[in-house]
Each structure stands twice: as C-alpha cells, then as structure tokens.
Amino acid sequence: MTLTPIELLRQNAPATRPVISLCEGSDPRVVAGALAAHQADLADVILVGPQAEVEAALKDHGAAPSQGAAVHDPVTSELTEEFAQTFFELRQHKGVDQATARAAVETAPVYAAMLVRSGRATGTVGGAVHTTGDIVRAAIQVIGMAPDAGMVSSFFLMYPPENAQSGARAMLYSDCGLVINPTASELSKIAIASAASAKSLLQIDPKIAMLSFSTKGSAKHPDVDKVIEATESLRQTAPDLSVDGELQFDAAFVPSVGDRKSPGSSVAGQANVMIFPNLDAGNIGYKITQRLGGYSAIGPVLQGLAQPANDLSRGCSAEDVTQMIAVTALQADST
C-alpha cells in the first residue's frame, strides 16, 4: 500500500527539521492545517499575514504564536528591508525600482517565498486564498527554477479509496494545474520531472503513459503527432525510464486493454505516471478520478523549482493543508 505524504514523512523524518512558510496565515483552514502539522511533529510553520489577524485566527484555534508556529507580518517584519533589497537585485533588470521591490515583499506570497530563498524556511505553501498565478509568479521570481529543470510544471498525487476495485493504484497525474498547452519538448520535460516526483513522493518505480485520444496510431491528428514526438524525445533523453505512448487512458490503466492495444508493452495496463497532452485533459481527468472514482487528490504540487513552493486549491480543507506541508517537507529533503 502506498503511503500518504504525512505517513511517509513520519516514517522518513528528515535529519533537519523542516520549516514551512504559509502565505495565508489568517485563513482558518491554513491555521488548522499548519497547527496539525506542527502538533504531529511534521514541521515547524511560519504563518505570514497581518499580525493581528493571524494571532486572532490562532486564538480561535486555542493557540498562540510560538517558536514552532511563528507569525510574520510582511509590513512590519524586521526582515522586510533585507528582502526588499534582495528582490530589487533579482528584478531590477525587469525595471523594478526600490519602491516597487518594497511593495512586492510586503505581499504575503513574495515574503513567504523570500523566507525560503533566504534559508529561513525550507519550503512554502499558498493558494487557499491567492490564485495559482500569484503563487507561481512569486516562486519563479524569488526562488527560481532548478538548474536542470527547463520549466516549471505541476502534478497531482492520486490515492485510491479503501474500497477501490481490483487494479486501483496510487498514481501521479501531470500536468493538471499549470501548463496549458505544452509542446512535445515540454511534455517530455514534464514526464522526466514527474518520474522523479513519483519516485520521491509515491516511492514507486515510475511507469509513464503519454496519454492521447489515440493508441498506437488508431487516430491521425496533429495532437496525436505531438504526443508521439514527445514519447520519442523522452526515450532518447531518458532511456532508463519506462515509457509508452501514445496511449488512451484505458490502454494505460487496464491490463487486459493494454495487452490488446499495445501488446508486449511493459507500461500499458500498468502505468502509474499519467502525462496528459494539455491542461484541459489533465484538469478534467483528475477531477473525474477524484469525484467519480473516489480517489484522494493532493495538489497541485509544483516541480522544477530550485526549492519547494506549492499551490493549494482554493477549495482546500485543513487536511489538504497538512498533506501539502508534508509534501513540501519531503520535496525539500530530496533536493
């Protein structure tokens, strides 16, 4: 049975205790999820937001600021001047002046990302209130991309329900939250990053399906050609990975269908890393799996950054926040 991020973090606690900054520190779900993570000994947390509002939210949960659950107000923090100078140096080539830099770091997403860049936090989580664009923009501008990533993408960890039918398994779906219409080259990069994420967060041997509405030439279309090109590029770039494509979802997931549609494949019917051809397919696919299939979905998790920064759904629960804190801590330990 595949462990959830919380279970995996408990089983493999990092040598250095993680510190996760949360840029929506007054949101009740964020406060509850952060306190649960701290109390479960998963990580220390920094709640970022207006001091009075965050402290009031903590009080509502019967808690107060402490060493392991600190409060940072970007407007009044003693770190803001340092962060403003750093942001100015990072972005002056884009025309950012000192005043604009100061205003930027007084926003919670940028301040929370600065905590990571400066080494005061090991990762950051946001998105319960802010948009994906807010969170990703702050992460790219402040934390930056990993040197070998080439791009930032996202994925969902999908966990089957307890009463799942035979053959159900934990999977990684990508990209379901960020890259709208990836090129063949970008699909290949997303697949490589997703394979690494599946190894570290699901503890599985990745079997990658490059998904399409066609299986092995059953349909002809430029969209199919893109997936075929991406599959070939992936095989050349990362020949050690198990990959097959183009595959329809049933050929990727159901062994009997995989045997019939892609005989001899080591991936068809057994895939656990599903690479969707565009954001329409990925976003619709994960929500159908979640809502009709009963799978638990954790994400969108970002990959390709120099240090972890992750995005919550604005419909998230406190449990989602705790799980994402665990994901972020695990990513920090694997970088």
Answer yes or no: are the C-beta atoms of 36 and 322 closer than 8 Å.
yes
Do 89 and 163 lie in one domain? The reply is no
**How much is the average pLDDT of 94-98?**
95
When mean pLDDT is compared across 144-148, 164-168, 181-185, the lowest value belongs to: 164-168
Residue 112 has pLDDT above 80, yes or no: yes
Distance CA 50, CA 47 (A): 10
Residue 198 included in any domain: yes
Residues 91 and 294 sit within 8 Å (Cβ to Cβ): no
For the whole model, what pTM was predicted? Answer: 0.91
Note the pLDDT of residue 71.
96
**pLDDT at site 1:** 66
User: Residue 335 has what pLDDT?
Assistant: 66
Region 26-32 average pLDDT:
96
Torsion of CA 21, 14, 137, 35, to 10 degrees: -30
> Which structural domain, as residue segments, surrounds residue 80?
5-144+306-334
The pLDDT, as a whole number, for residue 154 is 95
Q: Bridge partners of 267?
A: none
Question: How far is residue 301's CA from residue 55's CA, in Å, rounded to a whole number?
Answer: 28
Residues 268 and 327 in one domain: no
Residues 123 and 239 in one domain: no
| pLDDT > 90: percent of the chain | 86
- CATH code, domain with 187: 3.40.50.10750
Establish if 301 belongs to a structural domain. Answer: no
190 and 223 together in one domain: yes
Q: Could you report the per-residue pLDDT of 273-294, keeping only the tens digit for each?
A: 999 999 999 999 999 999 999 9
Check whether residue 139 and residue 183 sit in a common domain. Answer: no
Q: State the average pLDDT for the chain.
A: 94
Cα–Cα dist 91/104, whole Å: 11
pLDDT at 76 (0 to 100): 96
| Number of domains present in the structure of the chain | 2
Question: Looking at the predicted structure, is the pLDDT value of residue 67 above 80?
Answer: no
Question: What span, in angstroms and rounded, lies between the C-alpha atoms of 330 and 125?
Answer: 13
Do 20 and 88 sit in the same domain of this protein? yes
Residue 205 lies in a domain: yes
Tokens of residue 252, six digits: 């990727």
The CA radius of gyration of the chain, in Å to the nearest whole number, is 21
260 and 311 fall within a common domain: no
Please give the Cα distance from 8 to 202 (Å, whole number).
9
**Nearest CA to 70 among 52, 47, 49, 50?**
47
pLDDT over 70 at 262, yes or no: yes
Contact 305, 153 (CB under 8 A): no
Q: Which of 171, 167, 174, 173 is nearest to 254 (CA)?
A: 167
Q: How many CB atoms lie within 10 A of CB 254?
A: 17
Average the pLDDT over 91-95 and give the result.
Answer: 95
